[in-house]
A and B are shown apart, each in its own frame.
Chain A
Amino acid sequence: MAKTPWWKTSALAIALVVIAAACGSDDGGSDPGEGADTDASAAPAGPVTGDVVIFAYEDTLFPFIQDPFQEANPDLNVEGVPFGDASDTVTKLRGGFQADVVETCAGEMDQLIRGGFLQPIDTSRIPTWDDIYQFMKDGQGVEVDGEYWMAPTQGGIDGIVYNADEIPEGAITGYRTLFEGDWEGQIALENDSTDSMPMVAAALGFPSVFELDSSQIEQVRDYLIDTDRVRTVFDEDAQLINLMQQGEVLAVQAGPELVRVLNKEGGNFAFITPEEGSVSWVCGLSISENAENLDAAYAFINHMLDPETQANVAVELEYWGSNPGILEAADQKTIDNLRLDQAEEVVTNSIPELIPENIDEWEDAWRQYLAS
């Protein structure tokens, strides 16, 4: 009997493996792992077990956040997967990546919810839910169609940061004066249509800076193309910090934490809340549609909502917390620096960050501006 060629045997083996793998898989939603809870009526009591995948920004995976959570749940295998950009989150989830908890911000909620990558939050499993600042629960993407999709854990505002050595106090009062002031080619814009175009919309006096119609978008685009105030468009904070420190850029839309970073290095920078209103942002945690360990997912969310954790986040990362209990847990210096006791007042009077419904038009206009 003739010997079967080796390549035929190998091809058959490979085919069998592929078929076995295909038959062994279901439609992508794996069976709940150990520790998963099928009873969603109560918060998990005591330490949780099993595996949990936390898909979040790097700073949420820092030891000062993860270590206490791990200590409280010693039999839980915590896998932290970092990402650096919201678009990475959406793309990776879209590709089938399995995670239990996903860190989300208002910007990508619409895509994630419509794409079916998240599941609604069961607020009964979050004991501190009613304590969370209402203004954060009102953020875009937090509640959609009567269901909550994000447990807000952090927030902040963006205003105008400027070089106080070069720009006298009072010279900049808002976005209009930012774009019309006497600093040709010395402001920077973030390379994001929904971050930068609202500034121009505010400068042009449009009433609703995140809800622009086609004509208004064109006006914003044309204004940007014609203006000679913009020095550069930046992608990363690190780039912006260097530009401001070197005096290449004198003013930018940013959060107050940028002032502290720049002034630590001997700079003299100041922050103002624009007269048109500052833009507020809210981020938090959501539960992935293919989450396998709901107990652990909710345990982590509760951990992030804990006032102690939020106080640590405020100190280390300078973000506002969403639980008013942070005012008891944080030290007075942190409260004063971040104006934590004024968070509600400041944000209530701010412009909440939204993702426009006609975002494609925004992106087109932004690309046209960059191309010019």
Chain B
Amino acid sequence: MEHAATDGARARSARPVVRQVFWTIHRRELVTRVASAIMLAFGALILFGPFLLLAFLSFNDSQILAFGFRGFTTRFYEEALGDAAMRESLRNSLVVAGLTTPICVVLGTLGAFGIARFVFPGRGLVAGALTLPLVVPSLLVGVGALVTFSKVDVPLSLYTVAVMHIVVGFPLVMAIVTAALFRFDRSLEEAALDLGATRRELVWYVLLPYLVPALAAAAIFVFGWSFNSFTVTFFTVGSERMFTVWVFSKLRRGTNLPTVNAISTLVTFVTVVVVYIAYYLLRRSAVRSGQDVRSLVAGGPQQ
């Protein structure tokens, strides 16, 4: 009885301490959450604020991109979409990016397998050489390509642009996929082979599903790079118009800025929607296959 009374007294005297600890922990968590939210908001403002502002100003009925909202208008969008040179340039850029992306993904993945899975003399050197286009200044790449095409009498065209975009794009894919392959648990391959899978089945049913997030990320990067490339494009394109070259030449006259801003806003918006849809489809696929959804963000599961 005496012990029970003592225990009860101890418990009663411990409640304020427990409450104090609880609120301390809760307060810390609250502070952490609020601080995280503020940091996230600040980061989002820095990253997306300028774009949102430009998007807002694209509807401002003024030839000058500045505050002082003079009225809502869509005329700059109409001007941009009514410009035949813009439409041609946008179409060409989409075609080139659409053509180069799958080729880069295939070549880059094959290169990644070669680097990640085979040990051979000079592997490091080969890996370094294959990623050189990523580190060499694009001006050198563009001018070098122009000189080369000129010397071998290859006329500049969308094909020459596509070739150079592939030259620069596939190392990007290779870098991303190589990183994913290095993280892959080889015991899964061994297990698959032990269970009777052929090499083809191993690749199709074990490796590729694992690589899908990395391949998707690589494809988005390459598409974005190709579409937004200016220097390499400028020096390797012929008389066909490309979007980035069109933008640059249009901006020579300051009065064209609102039109360029309008079409850029539209292109960015479409890009965001497309990327979100791609992410949504990947997420749905991951949920159905029981994969960790968070792995989609980093471009591949962490082992």
- How far apart are B141's CB and chain A's nearest CB, in angstroms? 12
- A residues less than 8 Å from B151 (CB atoms): 22, 25, 28, 96
How far, in angstroms, from A250 to B139 measured CA to CA in the complex?
36
How far, in angstroms, from A55 to B240 measured CA to CA in the complex?
12
- A residues less than 8 Å from B238 (CB atoms): 79, 81
Q: Is the CB of A240 within 8 A of B63?
A: no
CB-CB contacts below 8 Å: A16-42 with B: 18, 21-22, 24-25, 28, 30
CB-CB contacts below 8 Å: B77-129 with A: 84-85
Q: Does A80 contact B (CB under 8 A)?
A: yes
A53-B239, A242-B64 known; A237-B252 Cβ under 8 A: yes
- A residues less than 8 Å from B153 (CB atoms): 21, 24-25, 30
- B residues less than 8 Å from A264 (CB atoms): 63
Interface size class of B (residues with CB under 8 A): 35 or more
A81-B238, A83-B249, A84-B248 known; A97-B254 Cβ under 8 A: no
- How far apart are B166's CB and chain A's nearest CB, in angstroms? 16
Q: Is the CB of A92 within 8 A of B146?
A: yes
A21-B154, A96-B147, A238-B65 known; A91-B252 Cβ under 8 A: no
Q: Is the CB of A245 within 8 A of B256?
A: no
Identify which of B64, B146, B154, B253 contacts A97 (C-beta below 8 A): B146
How far, in angstroms, from A237 to B260 measured CA to CA in the complex?
14
CB-CB contacts below 8 Å: A299-321 with B: 317
Q: Is the CB of B64 within 8 A of A91?
A: no
- B residues less than 8 Å from A238 (CB atoms): 65, 251, 254, 256-257
Identify which of B64, B143, B237 contacts A95 (C-beta below 8 A): B143
Could you mark each residue 225-248 of chain B with 1 if its beta carbon is under 8 Å from any beta carbon of chain A, else 0? Answer: 000000000110111010001101
A58-B250, A261-B63 known; A25-B239 Cβ under 8 A: no
How far, in angstroms, from A265 to B153 measured CA to CA in the complex?
50
Identify which of B149, B249, B254 contacts A237 (C-beta below 8 A): B254
Could you mark each residue 128-167 of chain B with 1 if its beta carbon is under 8 Å from any beta carbon of chain A, else 0? Answer: 0000000000000001001101111111100000000000
Q: Is the CB of B252 within 8 A of A245?
A: no
Q: Is the CB of A265 within 8 A of B62?
A: yes
Q: Does A169 contact B (CB under 8 A)?
A: no
Identify which of A84, A97, A241 contacts B257 (C-beta below 8 A): A241
Q: Is the CB of B246 within 8 A of A261?
A: no
A22-B152, A80-B239, A95-B235 known; A57-B249 Cβ under 8 A: yes
Identify which of A24, A25, A237, A242 contacts B253 (C-beta below 8 A): A237
A57-B252, A91-B235, A237-B254 known; A96-B65 Cβ under 8 A: no
- B residues less than 8 Å from A242 (CB atoms): 64-66, 257
A24-B153, A95-B147, A238-B251 known; A82-B65 Cβ under 8 A: no
Could you mark each residue 38-72 of chain A with 1 if its beta carbon is under 8 Å from any beta carbon of chain B, else 0? Answer: 00000000000000010001110101000000000
Q: Is the CB of A84 within 8 A of B249?
A: yes
How far, in angstroms, from A241 to B249 measured CA to CA in the complex?
17
Q: Does B74 contact A (CB under 8 A)?
A: no
Q: Which residue of A lies closest to B156 (CB)?
A: A97
Q: Does B32 contact A (CB under 8 A)?
A: no
Q: Does B255 contact A (CB under 8 A)?
A: yes
Q: Is the CB of B249 within 8 A of A96?
A: no
Using a Cβ cutoff of 8 Å, how many contacts connect chains A and B? 98
Could you mark each residue 71-95 of chain A with 1 if its beta carbon is under 8 Å from any beta carbon of chain B, else 0? Answer: 0000000011111100010011001
Q: Is the CB of B239 within 8 A of A81?
A: yes
Q: Is the CB of B239 within 8 A of A79?
A: yes
- B residues less than 8 Å from A97 (CB atoms): 146, 150, 156
Could you mark each residue 231-242 of chain A with 1 if its beta carbon is under 8 Å from any beta carbon of chain B, else 0? Answer: 000001111111
Q: Is the CB of A95 within 8 A of B146?
A: yes
- How far apart are A117's CB and chain B's nearest CB, in angstroms? 13
How far, in angstroms, from A239 to B47 measured CA to CA in the complex?
21
Q: Does A246 contact B (CB under 8 A)?
A: yes
A80-B239, A237-B252 known; A96-B150 Cβ under 8 A: yes
Q: Is the CB of B246 within 8 A of A82?
A: yes
Q: Is the CB of B235 within 8 A of A92?
A: yes
- How far apart are A122's CB and chain B's nearest CB, in angstroms? 25
- B residues less than 8 Å from A317 (CB atoms): 253
- A residues less than 8 Å from B147 (CB atoms): 95-96
How far, in angstroms, from A317 to B252 measured CA to CA in the complex?
12
- B residues less than 8 Å from A63 (CB atoms): 84
- B residues less than 8 Å from A84 (CB atoms): 245, 248-249, 251-252
Q: Which residue of A lies closest to B153 (CB)?
A: A25
How far, in angstroms, from A277 to B93 measured CA to CA in the complex?
46
- B residues less than 8 Å from A265 (CB atoms): 62-64
Q: Is the CB of B143 within 8 A of A91?
A: yes
- B residues less than 8 Å from A241 (CB atoms): 64, 254-255, 257
Q: Is the CB of A82 within 8 A of B251?
A: no
A sample of 17 inter-chain contacts (CB < 8 A) reads: A22-B152, A25-B153, A28-B150, A58-B246, A61-B85, A79-B238, A81-B237, A81-B239, A84-B245, A88-B234, A96-B151, A97-B156, A236-B254, A238-B257, A241-B255, A245-B64, A246-B66
Closest 4 CB pairs of A and B: A96-B150, A79-B239, A237-B254, A95-B146
Q: Which residues of B contact A (CB under 8 A)?
A: 62-67, 84-85, 143, 146-147, 149-156, 234-235, 237-239, 241, 245-246, 248-257
* Additional A-B contact list (9), CB under 8 Å, known A238-B256, A241-B257: A28-B150, A28-B151, A58-B250, A63-B84, A81-B237, A81-B238, A237-B253, A238-B65, A242-B66
